[in-house]
């Protein structure tokens, strides 16, 4: 798996913005990616030093459309903690 395939998109939410103050960045990642692959992808793509990585599987929520039950898509989320003073330029100004 290539580094570009591991990181799908960054998460931009209020909670994710508050985590940036602690040098933590949140990404939606490929479901088969491991913690070491995620750390290596962030290190190579953004040229930063990664300290740790926490992953979690987010299950889809139950929704109803026109009375019929269904589920939203499930995904895998990673919280990556960078070394003190390191930042990712893509997130600046968001």
Q: Could you read off the pLDDT of 22-77 as tens digits, one per residue?
A: 999 999 999 999 999 999 999 999 999 999 999 999 999 999 999 999 999 999 99
DSSP count for the chain of H helices, then E strands: 3, 6
The pTM of the full predicted model, rounded to 2 decimals, is: 0.88
Neighbours of 5 (CB within 10 A): 13
Q: How far apart are CA 41 and CA 2, in angstroms?
A: 8
Assign residue 11 the CATH number of its domain: 3.30.70.330
Number of domains in the chain: 1
**Per the domain annotation, does 92 fall within a domain?**
no
Query: pLDDT value at position 93?
Result: 65
């Amino acid at each position: 798996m290539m580094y570009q395939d591991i990181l799908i998109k960054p998460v931009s939410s209020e909670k994710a913005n508050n985590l940036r103050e602690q040098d933590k960045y949140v990404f939606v990642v490929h479901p088969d990616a491991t913690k070491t692959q995620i750390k290596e992808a962030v290190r190579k793509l953004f040229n930063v030093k990664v300290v740790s990585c926490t992953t979690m599987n987010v299950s889809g929520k139950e929704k109803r459309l026109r009375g019929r039950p269904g589920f939203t898509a499930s995904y895998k989320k990673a919280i990556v903690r960078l070394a003190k003073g390191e930042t990712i330029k893509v997130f600046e100004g968001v």
